[in-house]
Amino acid sequence: MILLEKGNRILGETVSAKINNDPEEKVEPIDVKLCDFDDVSYKVTIEDKTRNIMTVSMNCPCYNQILEVGGKASFEKAYGDLITEPVSGFDLSIKIDLDTLKEQKTKDELVTRISYFKSIVIGGVFDHYFSNLLAAGKPFDPFKFDLRNDTTVYLFPKADRCTVVYSLDFKEKVDRAIAKIFMQEFVEARRSLGAAPSCMWSVQPPMELEHYKITQPTGNLGFISFAVLKNHLDSGKKDRVINVLQSFRNYIQYHIKCSKSHFHSRMRAKCVSLLQVLNRARAEVDPRLQPKVLKTAQGKAFVQR
């Protein structure tokens, strides 16, 4: 099992190149656009007139849905005074004054925080429910948001647990077939891990979705649900649980691509093996039966049959 990085490495490297710029070198203006999972995109800009100011913006399609349930609070808590008015076409923006960054430790911490931009904002929803709801031990109203156009996340908080349900789907038929087998094996593997949250996978909607009047299959790939208890969040495990849950859809997509790549490499290796068998199976022609090429005194060649 390979877990994806919490942050966006390319975003971190792009920002780090400017934050850790040599003081003796002149800061060049940039306008870089980046893409991430879940249809999220970034923009890093340094204008020619104000080369000491770097603006980092993020466009998150689900931000308006999670704005009031932890998204905005998590963003403000993480970036504080760096927050500025969003750039046109983007939902969130932060502004960094490069001249105020002196200590290397401060620079490294800021680069890490910026690379976690998406993780901090989307993870705020899970943090809101896990921290405020599970810790208080009180049930709250369910909540749902569209993580992406083919994935909806449902949260059902109760007094002793918070059930997280994913409605999953994939556009390609091959991806759907692999994902279905993968999810079945994922649930089976969970049974050997006693301390992990229980999970269920089915084409039929779980009972919790009756709250949204979803009682029949919706035509998607299926539903997988995780029951997160309070003991799963104790001893500093909350951040890890949040990171795993919010990147679960990307985790599946990544392993589907890895599986397809593995299948292709195995098929290519099998084709090479079969071609070697065919080459060895070719009948060799007896040299005595080969036609002889003779030449005349004038140098002309003819074949003797």
CA distance to 283, 302, 303, per residue, from 292 (Å): 20, 8, 6
pLDDT, tens digit, 9 for 90 and up, residues 225-235 = 999 988 888 87
The answer to whether 9-121 and 138-259 have equal CATH topology is yes
Structure tokens belonging to residue 86? 């969003």
Look up tokens 């003081």; give the residue. 23
Supply the pLDDT for residue 160: 81
Fold classification of 138-259 is Yope Regulator; Chain: A, (3.30.1460)
Supply the pLDDT for residue 236: 81
Supply the pLDDT for residue 187: 84
Supply the pLDDT for residue 302: 65
Q: Where are the alpha helices (DSSP H) in 171-219?
A: 173-190
- Rounded to two decimals, what is the model's pTM? 0.85
CATH class of 9-121: alpha beta
What residue ranges of the chain have pLDDT lower than 50? none
Supply the pLDDT for residue 23: 78
Domain range summary for the chain, segments of one domain joined by +: 9-121, 138-259
CA distance to 18, 77, 185, 203, 231, per residue, from 101 (Å): 11, 20, 49, 52, 40
